[in-house]
Amino acid sequence: MTLITLTPPSHTHGAVSRWQRYEAPTLLLAVLLYAAWAALVNWHDTLPAPLLFLLGGYIGQLHFSLQHEAIHAMRHIPKAVRWALVWPPLNLWLPYPLFHSSHSRHHVNFHLTHPQKDTESIFHSAAAWGTYGALRRSVVLANQTLAFRMVVEPWLRLGKFLGSEIRRLVAGNFSHALIWLAHAMSILPIILYVTKIAGMSLVDYAFYFLYPSMMLGALRSFTEHRWGESPHERVAIVESNALFGLLYLYNNLHHVHHRFPTMPWYEIPGHFRSNRAALLAANGNFYYRGYGQIARRYLLRPIFKPVHPLW
C-alpha cells in the first residue's frame, strides 16, 4: 500500500491570525456580494441582456457558494451570525435550513453516490430503473450530458423539490411549515426591492438571476462524484481558473473539501498546491484541467451510466 502524506491544513493547527479568527475574507466577500447584487438589480435595465444573464447568474451562484461555506466553515464566528450572514434568499426557491440539512447528509463519505442515502447522487438503483418508463429513462440518460444538465435539469430540480414539499404537506406532514413561513417572510423584502424599488419583474429576475445561477450550479456538480471502491476515489478535482474558483469558493477542488470540510475557502487552493500529488493519488486521479475540458468531452456525450454499479 502506498503511503500518502498530506500537509496538515493550517486551520487545524498552530496560531490563528486575527484575519482568520474574524473570518475577514468571508465577511468582506459577503459585503461585496450583497452590494453587487443590489447594484445589479437596481441598474439591470442599463445592461445588455447577455451581460445581465452572465452577471446575474454569477452573483446568484456565488451566494449559493457562500451559503455552502456557512454550512461547513466560518467556525470562528457564532452559528447565529453565520446563518444570518447567508440567510437572505437571493435565489428565492430554496430555504437555507433545508439546504443545510440535505447537504449535511451528503457529507457521509461512505454513502457517496448511494442512490437513496446520498442526497446529491445522480445514480439510480437497478430496482428503481426497472420501474421507469421509456420517457423517464430517456430524460435520465440525457441528464448525463452537460448540455441537458445545464439547460433543462434546473427546471427538473426545481419541480422535483417543490413537488416533494407539496406532497409532504398533502400527506399531513407539517415539519417544514415553520421553515417555509420564515422563508416566505424572508423573500418578501427581496421581492419588494426587485419589483418596487428596482422596477424589475419577477419573470425577468427569474430568467436573469435564478436560472443562470442554477445552470452554473449544475456545471459545478456535473462530475463531482463517481462510483469508486474507496470514498476518496468518488470525489473529483477540477483545477479551474480564478474566475470559477471564486464562483465556487474553490469547491471545484472538491476532493479537498470532502477530506477537510471545515477548511475555509481561501485556504483550499494553497492546500491543494502543497499536496497536489498526494491528493490526486488518493482520489485515483479523478481529475479535470478545467470546465472547458469537461464541456469538450461531455457536452453531448453521457458521462456516466445512470444505474449504480453496486448499490
Element (H, E) at 237: strand 237-238
* pLDDT of 104 over the 60 cut: yes
* pLDDT of 7 over the 70 cut: no
Alpha-carbon span 268 to 264, nearest angstrom: 7
Average pLDDT (212-225) is 97
Residue 155 one-letter amino acid: W
Domain membership flag for residue 8:
no
- Residues 194-209: tens digit of each pLDDT: 999 999 999 999 999 9
Alpha-carbon span 224 to 236, nearest angstrom: 5
Domain membership flag for residue 37:
yes
Alpha-carbon span 278 to 112, nearest angstrom: 21
Which domain covers residue 97, as residue numbers? 17-298
Domain membership flag for residue 40:
yes
Domain membership flag for residue 310:
no
Domain membership flag for residue 5:
no
Closest by CA position to 65, among listed 90, 43, 41: 90
pTM above 0.95, yes or no: no
Domain membership flag for residue 228:
yes
Element (H, E) at 288: strand 287-288
Rg of the chain over CA atoms, in angstroms? Answer: 20
Domain membership flag for residue 227:
yes
Question: What pLDDT score does 10 carry?
Answer: 56
- Residues 139-180: tens digit of each pLDDT: 999 999 999 999 999 999 999 999 999 999 999 999 999 999
Q: Distance between terminal CA atoms of the chain? A: 26
Closest by CA position to 258, among listed 230, 295, 218: 230
3-class SS at 263? coil
Question: What pLDDT score does 109 carry?
Answer: 86
Per the structure, the count of domains in the chain is 1
DSSP result, 164-181: HHHHHHHTT--TTHHHHH
Domain membership flag for residue 153:
yes
Q: How far is it between the farthest Cα atoms of the chain?
A: 63
